[in-house]
C-alpha cells in the first residue's frame, strides 16, 4: 500500500479511482454500524473477495496508489507532521513475520468476532485506519505499507516478481529511503533480493494452507458446508460474547465433533495447523525438487528453484481463495459463479505461465538492456520495445559499427555501471550475462576490462563512507540535494537570509536526518575543494606499480615478466583515467607527454606531471594532488623487498595483477595458508583457480605433474611465444582457457599430413620435427624448439594438415589451442595478424634457404633427408 502516484505516470484515471476507493472505505464503518445485518455480506463477500483479482489485474504499483489504508498512513505528512523515525534493523529483518502474524490475527478475529457483527466490523476498520495513521505520524515514508500493513505480503504474493503487464512504478515523489530494495521503486529487484530470506519462505509457503484452513473451519465448526456457502455466518451479531467460552450447542461449538472447545481456541488451532502443514508440504517439495534438479544439472540454482515454489504457492492460494470467496453472494445471481470462476482460472493461468518462466538472469539482462536503450543514439529509428527480440541486439551492434566498437564498449560500460550502482543488478549477476554479451559481440577480454574498471571505482566508493548508500538512499539524498540547491539559489537571488524553519521542514519532508543533512551541506560547500577518492587511489596504483616494476627487473623470471607486463598495462590505464578525471583529453602529443611523465621511473618527472595537472584546478586542490602523490610514493618506498612490494597487489582491482602477484609471491617467498584461502574466495575464476592449485600443492595433495599447468601458467607459456607476446592478459586468458596441455613421447605424431585438424600447437618443452610426404617417403622440412608455433595454416584455411609433426628424441610437451579461439584472436588483434604474417614469411624464407642448402633448387647436389613413412613409436 502506498502513497498517491508520482506526477508523470501518465495514468490520470487512477486519481479518481483512488478517491472512489477511499470514499467506499470511509463509508464502510458507517454502513457496518447502521446496517449490521448486511455489513458482513457486503464487505466480506463482495469488497474483500474482489481485492486479490483487482490487485492481479491492475498490478502491484497501481494498487499501491489506490489503497485507502495508504492514504491514512500518508495523512500526517499531508498535515505537515510526517514521522521521522525509521524502521529498526530488527523490523527490517523480521517484518515478514510481523505482517504474517497481523494477517493471521485478522483472520482469527473474523472467525470469532467480525464476520457477522456489523459493530465489531466497524470497530475493526476504525482500529486499522488509526494504526495506519499512527504509523505515518511516527515513521517516515511508507513504513506502514512496507513493514506493518497485514495485507502488504498478500499484494506481493499475488503479483511478484512483476505483473501481467508493465506499469509505472509507485515510488514517492519525495523518497525518504524508508526501505532497502524498495518494491515501489522496483518490485522485481526487491523480490530477487529477498528470495532467500527464511522469513519470506515461511510466509509464502504457509499462506496457501492458511487460506484453506480459514474456509475449512466453517465446515469444522458446523459439520456442513452450507454454513459457509449459505452465508449464515455473515449475520451473527454478538459472536464475540461466546467465542471464548466452552461451546454447548451447534452455534457455540468450537468443532462440531468437539463442541466443548471454545470457538476462539478451535479457530486458532485450525489456522495454525493449516499454515504449518502447508509450510511443511512446500518445504518437502523444495527439497525433493532440489535433489532431482541437482542430478539433472540444468542450470537452475537455489534462487530459481525457490521462485518456482513461490509461483506454485501463489497459484494454489489464489485458486483456493476463489473457490470460496464471494460464492455466498454470487450464488444468488444466476450464472455469476461460473463466469467469475472462468475469469479467475484464466487470470491465474496467465499469471502462472508468465511468472513460472521468469528467471533472475532474464531480469538482470533486461535491466542492463534498458540502460543500453536509454543511450540509444540513432534519431532515425525508435528504440525497440521488446527487450527479448534479437532485433534489439543486432540493430545496436550493426548501427554501432559505424561509430566504432569503442563506442559500443563505452555504452556497455555506462549501462553496467548504472545498473550496478542502482542496486538492481549485482556484479555477480552481470558476470553471468554471457548470452547478452555474445549477442552484443563483446569479447570476454573487453568485458573483463570493463569489470576491472568498475571494480576500481567500487573500491574507491568503499573507501569513502559518504558514498556507501543503497539505491533508495542515493535517490533520497539526490532529490534532497536538488531541493536544497534550488532553495539556496532562490535565497541568493533574493539576497535574503536562509530560513532555518523552512530547511527543517524540507528535511522532514525528505526524511533526512541531521547527520545526513550535514553531509549533504558539507559536500555542496566543498564541491570544488577536494580530491576525489579515485584520484588519490590512482596515485597509489601508479607509485606502487612503478616501485614493484623496478624491483622485478632485478629478479627476472617468467612470473616476474608477466607481473611486470600486467602492472605496466595497469599503470597506463590508470594514468589515462587520471588525465580524463582532471579534464585532459586522451589524445594529443602534449597529453601523451604528460602521460609518459606520470609513468616515468623518475620521481622528478612525475612531480612535474602532477604540477601540470594542478594547473587546471583550484590552488587548494592542486596542493592536495601533490600531497596525495607524495604520500603514495612514500608508502610505496616503504616496501624494502620484492615480496613486500608485491604483496599489496593482491588487493588490486585488476584480476590479472592479483593472480600474477599471487603466483610470483608464492614462487619467491611462499604464501601463507590464510592468504591462499582468502584468494580462493576471489570473484575472478583465474585467481580462484590459482589459489586452489597453490593451496593443494602447498599441502602436497597434488603436484604440478598431477594438475598440469593452471590457467595463469598457460598464460605465461603463451606469452613466451613471440606471436602472442603483445596480447593483453584478457586475450591470453581466453587462449589459455581454450587450450589443453598434452605430452608426447619420442617419435609420437602430434598430427599427420592430410588429416583434418582444427587446433594449433605451442611447444612448451622439447623439440619436434616437421615432415612432408615425398612419394613413398617423408622429407624433413625443419624443426621447432621451445616457444615454437605449429600448424596454424590448417586452422586459417580449413585445409587438411600440410605436414606431419613428430615429437623429438626427448619427447615434447605442447599446448593444443582450439582453432576457433585462435581465429578469434586474429579477428580482434591486428598485432597478432602482423606477427602471423611475419612468422609465415620467415618460414617460407627458411624453407627456400634449406632448399638451396641441400641443392634442391640450384645445384641439386644431394637428395633431401628421408625418414621412413611410418616412424617407430
pLDDT for 660 beyond 60: yes
> What is the mean predicted confidence (pLDDT) over 170-193?
83
Q: Which three cell numbers stand for residue 489?
A: 539559489
Rounded Cα distance between 626 and 632, Å, is 10
Q: Determine the 3-state secondary structure of 308 from DSSP.
A: helix
Taking alpha carbons only, the member of 385, 377, 365 closest to residue 440 is 365
118-127, 492-501, 574-583, 660-669: least confidently modelled range: 492-501
pLDDT for 857 beyond 50: no
User: Dihedral, CA atoms, 190, 191, 197, 201, nearest 10 degrees?
Assistant: 150
> What is the mean predicted confidence (pLDDT) over 474-486?
72
- Position 460 scores a pLDDT of 52
Rounded Cα distance between 791 and 802, Å, is 8
Taking alpha carbons only, the member of 636, 586, 588, 629 closest to residue 609 is 629
pTM score of the predicted model: 0.62
The residue that leads in pLDDT, 242 or 423, is 242
pLDDT for 704 beyond 80: no
pLDDT for 435 beyond 70: no
Average pLDDT, the chain: 79
Rounded Cα distance between 361 and 429, Å, is 7
Rounded Cα distance between 137 and 78, Å, is 10
pLDDT for 282 beyond 80: yes
130-134, 281-285, 350-354, 430-434: least confidently modelled range: 430-434
The residue that leads in pLDDT, 503 or 862, is 503
Rounded Cα distance between 780 and 770, Å, is 6
> What is the mean predicted confidence (pLDDT) over 554-572?
88
- Position 847 scores a pLDDT of 59
Of the pLDDT bands very low, low, confident and very high (cuts 50, 70, 90), residue 270 is: very high
584-623 pLDDT, tens digit each: 655 556 567 888 888 888 888 888 888 887 776 667 777 8
Of the pLDDT bands very low, low, confident and very high (cuts 50, 70, 90), residue 106 is: very high
The residue that leads in pLDDT, 392 or 33, is 33
Of the pLDDT bands very low, low, confident and very high (cuts 50, 70, 90), residue 360 is: confident
- Position 206 scores a pLDDT of 97
**Residue entry with cell 582491482:** 653
- Position 278 scores a pLDDT of 97
Query: Strand pairing of 777-784 and 749-751?
Result: unpaired
Q: Which three cell numbers stand for residue 406?
A: 569503442
- Position 794 scores a pLDDT of 58
Which residues lie closer than 8 Å to 90 by C-beta, 6 or more apart? none
The residue that leads in pLDDT, 422 or 288, is 288
Q: Which three cell numbers stand for residue 779?
A: 622429407
Long-range CB contacts for residues 569-574, cutoff 8 Å, separation at least 24: 569/728, 569/729, 570/541, 570/545, 570/652, 570/654, 570/657, 571/541, 571/542, 571/545, 571/546, 571/599, 572/599, 573/453, 574/538, 574/541, 574/542
Of the pLDDT bands very low, low, confident and very high (cuts 50, 70, 90), residue 842 is: low
- Position 425 scores a pLDDT of 63
Instruction: Please report the domains of the chain, with CATH numbers, ordered by start residue.
Output: 14-170+181-354 (no CATH), 533-670 (no CATH), 738-867 (2.60.120.10)
Alpha-carbon distance values, 472 to 73, 422, 424, 478, 523 (Å): 20, 8, 11, 10, 19
- Position 592 scores a pLDDT of 72
pLDDT for 820 beyond 90: no
> What is the mean predicted confidence (pLDDT) over 567-575?
86
178-182, 192-196, 235-239: least confidently modelled range: 178-182
Rounded Cα distance between 277 and 866, Å, is 83
- Position 234 scores a pLDDT of 93
pLDDT for 389 beyond 70: no
Which range among 197-211, 386-400, 414-428, 839-853 has the greatest average pLDDT?
197-211
Q: Which three cell numbers stand for residue 126?
A: 476504525
The residue that leads in pLDDT, 447 or 557, is 557
Neighbours of 412 (CB within 10 A): 23
Which residues lie closer than 8 Å to 741 by C-beta, 6 or more apart? 708, 709, 714, 764, 813, 814, 815, 816
The residue that leads in pLDDT, 454 or 547, is 547
Q: What is the DSSP string of 490-523?
A: HHHHTT----HHHHHHHHHHHT--HHHHHHHHHH
Contact 370, 387 (CB under 8 A): yes
Rounded Cα distance between 45 and 32, Å, is 14
pLDDT for 381 beyond 60: no
pLDDT for 508 beyond 80: no
> What is the mean predicted confidence (pLDDT) over 526-544?
68
Q: What is the DSSP string of 574-622?
A: HHHHHHHHTT--S-SHHHHHHHHHHT-S-HHHHHHHHHHHHTTS-HHHH
Rounded to the nearest angstrom, the gap between the alpha carbon of residue 806 and the centroid of all alpha carbons in its chain is 50
713-741 pLDDT, tens digit each: 888 888 877 777 778 888 888 778 878 88
Beta bridge partners of 740: 816
735-788 pLDDT, tens digit each: 788 788 888 888 888 888 888 777 788 888 888 888 888 777 778 877 888 777
Taking alpha carbons only, the member of 715, 795, 716, 808 closest to residue 757 is 795
Alpha-carbon distance values, 419 to 67, 191, 255, 423, 615 (Å): 30, 16, 56, 7, 35
Rounded Cα distance between 630 and 542, Å, is 12
- Give percent above pLDDT 70 in the chain: 74
Amino acid at each position: 500500500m502506498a502513497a498517491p502516484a508520482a506526477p508523470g505516470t501518465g495514468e490520470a484515471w487512477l486519481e479518481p479511482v483512488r478517491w472512489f476507493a477511499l470514499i467506499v472505505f470511509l463509508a464502510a464503518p458507517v454502513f457496518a454500524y447502521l446496517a449490521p445485518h448486511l455489513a458482513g455480506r457486503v464487505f466480506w463477500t463482495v469488497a474483500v473477495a474482489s481485492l486479490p483479482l483487482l490487485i492481479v489485474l491492475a498490478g502491484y504499483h497501481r494498487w499501491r496508489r489506490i489503497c485507502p489504508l495508504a492514504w491514512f498512513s500518508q495523512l500526517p505528512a499531508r498535515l505537515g507532521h510526517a514521522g521521522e523515525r525509521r524502521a529498526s534493523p530488527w523490523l527490517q529483518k523480521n517484518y515478514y513475520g510481523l505482517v504474517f502474524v497481523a494477517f493471521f490475527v485478522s483472520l482469527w478475529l473474523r472467525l470469532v468476532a467480525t464476520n457477522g457483527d456489523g459493530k465489531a466490523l466497524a470497530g475493526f476498520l476504525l482500529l486499522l485506519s488509526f494504526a495506519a495513521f499512527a504509523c505515518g505520524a511516527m515513521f517516515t515514508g511508507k513504513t506502514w505499507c512496507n513493514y506493518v500493513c497485514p495485507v502488504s505480503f498478500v499484494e506481493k504474493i499475488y503479483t511478484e516478481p512483476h505483473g501481467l503487464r508493465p506499469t509505472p512504478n509507485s515510488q514517492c515523489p519525495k523518497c525518504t529511503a524508508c526501505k532497502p530494495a524498495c518494491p515501489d521503486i522496483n518490485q522485481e529487484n526487491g523480490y530477487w533480493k529477498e528470495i532467500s530470506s527464511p522469513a519470506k519462505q515461511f510466509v509464502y509457503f504457509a499462506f496457501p494452507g492458511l487460506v484453506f484452513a480459514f474456509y475449512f473451519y466453517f465446515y469444522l465448526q458446523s459439520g456442513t458446508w452450507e454454513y459457509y456457502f449459505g452465508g449464515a455466518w455473515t449475520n451473527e451479531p454478538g459472536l464475540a460474547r461466546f467465542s471464548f467460552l466452552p461451546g454447548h450447542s451447534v452455534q457455540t461449538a468450537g468443532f462440531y465433533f468437539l463442541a466443548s472447545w471454545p470457538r476462539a481456541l478451535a479457530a486458532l488451532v485450525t489456522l495454525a495447523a493449516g499454515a504449518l502443514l502447508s509450510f511443511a508440504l512446500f518445504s518437502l517439495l523444495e527439497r525433493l525438487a532440489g535433489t532431482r534438479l541437482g542430478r539433472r544439472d540444468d542450470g537452475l540454482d537455489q534462487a530459481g528453484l525457490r521462485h518456482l515454489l513461490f509461483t506454485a504457492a501463489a497459484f494454489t492460494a489464489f485458486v483456493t481463495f476463489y473457490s470460496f470467496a464471494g460464492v455466498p453472494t454470487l450464488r444468488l445471481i444466476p450464472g455469476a459463479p461460473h463466469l467469475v470462476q472462468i475469469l479467475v482460472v484464466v487470470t491465474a493461468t496467465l499469471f502462472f505461465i508468465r511468472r513460472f518462466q521468469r528467471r533472475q538472469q532474464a531480469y538482470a539482462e533486461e535491466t542492463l538492456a534498458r540502460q543500453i536503450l536509454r543511450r540509444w543514439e540513432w534519431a532515425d529509428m525508435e528504440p525497440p520495445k521488446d527487450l527479448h527480440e534479437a532485433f534489439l541486439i543486432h540493430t545496436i551492434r550493426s548501427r554501432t559499427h559505424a561509430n566504432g566498437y569503442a563506442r559500443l564498449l563505452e555504452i556497455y560500460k555506462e549501462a553496467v555501471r548504472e545498473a550496478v550502482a542502482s542496486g538492481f543488478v549485482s556484479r555477480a549477476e552481470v558476470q553471468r550475462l554471457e548470452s547478452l554479451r555474445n549477442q552484443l559481440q563483446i569479447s570476454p577480454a573487453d568485458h573483463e576490462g570493463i569489470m576491472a574498471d568498475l571494480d576500481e571505482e567500487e573500491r574507491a566508493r568503499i573507501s569513502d563512507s559518504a558514498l556507501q548508500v543503497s539505491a533508495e538512499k542515493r535517490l533520497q539524498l539526490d532529490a534532497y540535494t536538488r531541493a536544497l540547491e534550488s532553495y539556496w539559489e532562490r535565497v541568493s537571488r533574493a539576497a535574503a537570509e536562509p530560513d532555518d524553519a523552512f530547511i527543517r521542514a524540507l528535511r522532514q519532508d525528505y526524511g533526512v536526518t541531521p547527520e545526513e543533512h550535514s553531509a549533504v551541506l558539507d559536500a555542496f560547500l566543498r564541491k570544488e575543494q577536494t580530491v576525489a577518492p579515485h584520484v588519490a587511489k590512482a596515485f597509489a596504483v601508479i607509485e606502487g606499480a612503478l616501485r614493484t616494476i623496478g624491483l622485478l627487473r632485478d629478479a627476472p623470471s617468467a612470473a616476474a615478466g608477466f607481473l611486470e607486463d600486467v602492472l605496466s598495462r595497469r599503470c597506463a590505464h590508470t594514468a589515462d583515467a587520471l588525465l580524463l578525471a582532471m579534464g585532459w583529453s586522451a589524445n594529443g602529443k602534449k597529453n601523451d607527454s604528460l602521460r609518459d611523465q606520470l609513468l616515468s621511473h623518475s620521481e622528478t618527472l612525475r612531480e612535474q606531471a602532477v604540477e601540470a595537472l594542478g594547473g587546471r584546478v583550484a590552488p587548494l586542490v592542486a596542493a592536495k594532488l601533490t600531497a596525495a602523490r607524495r604520500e603514495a610514493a612514500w608508502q610505496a618506498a616503504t616496501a624494502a623487498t620484492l615480496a613486500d612490494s608485491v604483496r599489496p597487489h593482491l588487493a588490486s582491482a585488476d584480476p590479472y595483477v592479483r593472480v600474477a602477484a599471487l603466483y610470483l609471491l608464492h614462487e619467491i617467498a611462499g604464501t601463507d595458508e590464510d592468504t591462499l584461502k582468502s584468494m580462493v574466495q576471489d570473484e575472478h575464476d583465474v585467481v580462484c583457480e590459482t589459489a586452489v592449485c597453490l593451496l593443494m600443492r602447498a599441502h602436497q595433495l597434488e603436484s604440478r605433474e598431477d594438475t598440469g599447468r593452471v590457467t595463469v601458467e598457460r598464460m605465461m607459456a603463451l606469452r613466451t611465444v613471440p606471436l602472442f607476446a603483445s596480447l593483453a592478459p584478457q586475450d591470453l586468458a581466453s587462449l589459455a582457457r581454450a587450450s589443453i596441455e598434452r605430452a608426447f613421447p619420442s617419435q609420437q605424431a602430434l598430427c599427420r599430413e592430410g588429416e583434418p585438424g582444427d587446433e594449433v600447437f605451442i611447444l612448451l618443452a622439447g623439440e619436434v620435427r616437421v615432415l612432408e610426404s615425398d612419394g613413398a617417403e617423408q622429407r624433413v622440412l625443419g624443426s621447432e624448439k621451445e616457444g615454437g608455433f605449429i600448424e596454424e595454416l590448417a586452422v586459417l584455411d580449413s585445409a587438411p594438415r600440410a605436414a606431419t609433426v613428430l615429437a623429438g628424441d626427448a619427447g615434447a610437451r605442447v599446448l593444443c589451442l582450439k582453432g576457433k579461439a585462435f581465429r578469434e584472436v586474429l579477428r580482434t588483434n591486428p598485432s597478432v595478424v602482423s606477427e602471423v604474417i611475419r612468422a609465415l614469411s620467415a618460414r617460407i624464407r627458411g624453407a627456400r634457404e634449406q632448399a638451396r642448402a641441400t641443392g634442391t633448387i640450384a645445384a641439386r647436389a644431394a637428395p633431401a633427408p628421408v625418414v621412413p613413412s611410418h616412424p617407430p613409436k
